[in-house]
Chain A
Amino acid sequence: MYGTGLAKGLLLTLRHFVESYIDDLRYGFRKYHHSTDNFGIRQGTKTKGVITVQYPDEKVAVPERFRFVPFLIVEDEDHPTRAGKDWCTSCGICAKVCPPQCIWIVRGNDPVTGRPVPEPEAFFIDIDICMNCGYCAEYCPFDAIKMDHDYEMASYDRTSHHIHDKERLSKPNSYWRGIAPTRAYEEMLVRGTWEHKDAAKEARRGAASSARGRSSQPAAPAATVTSSAAEAAPEASAAAAPAPAAEGATPWSEDDAKREERRRKALERKARRAAKQG
C-alpha cells in the first residue's frame, strides 16, 4: 500500500526518539548530572538512542594513542641527577621525518670544541603547519618527542601563540606516563629504565666510581626503576626484567666518557696551537 514505506520510516524515527529517553530512565536522568559511572556504557557499543556528550561539563577522554600536537619530554623535576634535562639529543630525525616540515631544531654545540652536543639549543614546532601525523614520536629513537593529548588550544592570536618553542614544548616524563601509561610502560621495557637511557648509564658509572671511593653519588635511579615499574604495571611486573638499553643508535648516544676524552684532546690541541703561535 502506498505510504507504508513512509510510515515505517516515521515509526523508526519515533523509536529513536523514545530510545534516547529510555536511556535516561535507565540511568535515572543522571546523564545531565555528569556522572562518571555509566559514561563508558553510554558512549560504547551497547547504547541505543542519541546520547550527547555535555562537552565543557563532561569530556570524552581521548585514548592513549591519540595524537594532537607534539611535545618534548624532559626529566622530572624531582629526578636526582638529571632534573629538567631534555631527553632530546637533537639528532634531527623528527625534523627529517616530518611530512610538512614543521620542526626546526638548532643543534647544540660545545662552546669550546665546536662539536655537536646531544641536546637541542632551540626547538620550534609551528603548529599551524603540523598535521598531527605522529611520525616524529614514532621514529624518535630516544622516546623524546611525543604526541600530546591536550586539544584545548584555541587562541586569539596565532603570530605569537602558534610557534611552540622549547619552553612551551617541554613537559615532564611523569606527564607522559600519566597520559599514556601502557605505551610508557612498553617503552620502558625496551629502554630498560623509566628515565632517559643516559640516566641509567650515569647511574651505573656513579655506582662504579663510588665503589672506587671517589664519589659518594648514590645509585638512586636504579632503585626508582624497580619500584615505579612495579607500581605502574602490577600485572606485568613479573615479566618486567628490563632489557638492556640499545647502544649506539646515533653518534650522540655513545658514552659520555669518550666525548669527554675528545673534548680534553681538543683543548690540548688548542693549547698547543696557542703555544706555537705564542
Chain B
Amino acid sequence: MELNLQELNATEFPVPVELEDNIAITSLSQLYNWGRRNSMWPMLFGLACCAIEMIATASSRFDFSRFGFEVMRATPRQADLMIVSGTVTKKMVVPIVRLYNQMPEPKYVLAMGACASGGGPFKEGYNVVSGMDKYLPVDVYVPGCPPTPQALLYGMIALQRKIDGQSIANGDDVPWYGVGSAEPTPVPVLGPDIIDPRQMDMIRRQAESAARDMEALGLRELPAITQIVAAKAETAEAVAEALPADTDALNVVLPTGGTPWQEAEDIREKRRLRALARKALRATRRAAQAEGE
C-alpha cells in the first residue's frame, strides 16, 4: 500500500497545491482509520463453500493483500476481521461466538454469502442458523451463493469505507475506548435446540406453558404425508386458488440505490459541515471580540 497523502488530506484547512504530495493536514480520526483499514487481518477459518471462494480471493489472481487484508491469522488474538464464510450451523455457532469473544477490539464481522447473511438455501434446515447476525454484530453483508472473488473484494472495500466513516470523537464508533470492560457476547448453549442465554426466560416460560397445555404447544401432530404427496401432485396441474393475504407480512423498506458506503459518506460530509460551521462560528466570535476591543 503506497502512502497517498492526498487521500489523508481532508480537513477544512487547505494545503497549498505544491505541498500536497509532501504534507497532509488531517484529523486524528482520519489518520487512525487510515491505519486501521489498511491493516485488516482476517481470521483464517472457513466454514463451507464460500471459504473456497475466500481462498480464491486470497490467492494470486485476486489477491486481497493489495488492500491490506495482508495475511490470514489462524488465531483470533491476531485477527481484526472475521469473515464468516459459509453456512453457520447450530453446532458451529458456539465456537464461532467464542472465537469472536477472543478477538481483540476493534473487530469486525463480514458475513460472506447468503448462508452467513440469512441462512441461505439451507435456512429451513434444523441445524442451520438463520444468519450470523442473530448472534454477532455483522458489519458488512456480501450476498451471493457463493459471492465471486470480485464480489467479496467489493464487500471488503465496503468495510474499509465503513471504517473511514467512523470517528474517535464518537463513542458509539469506538466503544472499546469506553469506561469499564466490555461485556463478551453471550455464547449460545446446545440444549434440545440451540439456546441463546438471553432468551432463557422466554424459553422456560414456553416450556412451562407447553407442560400445562399440551394441545397448544407441546405436541406435534403427525403429518399425513401420503395425502400431502397426492395433494401436491394435483395442485401442480390445477390452478391454485388465491390464498388469503398474509396479515403479518413484512413491510419492506427498500433503498433507493447507490453504494453501501453512501451512508458513511453522508456522515463524513455532515461532520465536515459541522467543522466548517464551528470554524465560521469561531471566526465570527473573533470578529465580534475584535470589534468589542
Q: Chain A residues in contact with chain B, CB under 8 A? A: 50-56, 59-60, 62, 68-69, 92, 96, 99-100, 102, 106-107, 109, 116, 124, 126-132, 151-158, 160-165, 167-168, 251
Contact = CB atoms under 8 A, between A and B. Distances in A.
Interface of B: 60-63, 66, 111, 114, 117-124, 131, 133, 138-145, 147-148, 150-151, 153-155, 157-158, 162, 236, 239-240, 242, 245, 250, 252-255, 260, 263
Contact of B252 (A69, A152, A165, A251): A165
A69 B143 contact: yes
Contact of B140 (A124, A126, A155): A155
A154 B260 contact: yes
25 contacts: A50-B61, A52-B63, A53-B150, A55-B153, A59-B150, A69-B143, A92-B240, A100-B123, A102-B121, A126-B118, A128-B117, A128-B123, A128-B143, A129-B120, A132-B144, A132-B145, A151-B151, A154-B151, A154-B154, A154-B158, A155-B158, A162-B143, A163-B250, A163-B252, A165-B254
A160 B121 contact: no
A153 B60 contact: no
A6 B183 CA distance: 52
B260 to A, nearest CB: 5
Contacts of A62: 148
A131 B158 contact: no
A122 B131 CA distance: 25
Given A56-B157, A60-B150, A100-B124, 13 more contacts: A54-B66, A68-B148, A99-B121, A128-B118, A129-B118, A151-B154, A154-B143, A154-B155, A158-B141, A162-B117, A163-B250, A168-B254, A251-B239
Main secondary structure on A side of the interface with B: loop
Contacts of A109: 242
Contacts of A59: 150
Nearest to A62: B148
A99 B122 CA distance: 10
Given A60-B150, A131-B114, A164 B254 contact: yes
Contacts of A116: 242
A156 B118 CA distance: 13
B254 A124 contact: no
Closest 8 CB pairs of A and B: A128-B118, A154-B155, A100-B121, A131-B121, A151-B151, A50-B60, A154-B158, A131-B145
Contacts of A102: 121
Contacts of A251: 239
B102 to A, nearest CB: 25
A251 B239 CA distance: 9
A99 B138 CA distance: 27
B63 A156 contact: no
A20 to B, nearest CB: 9
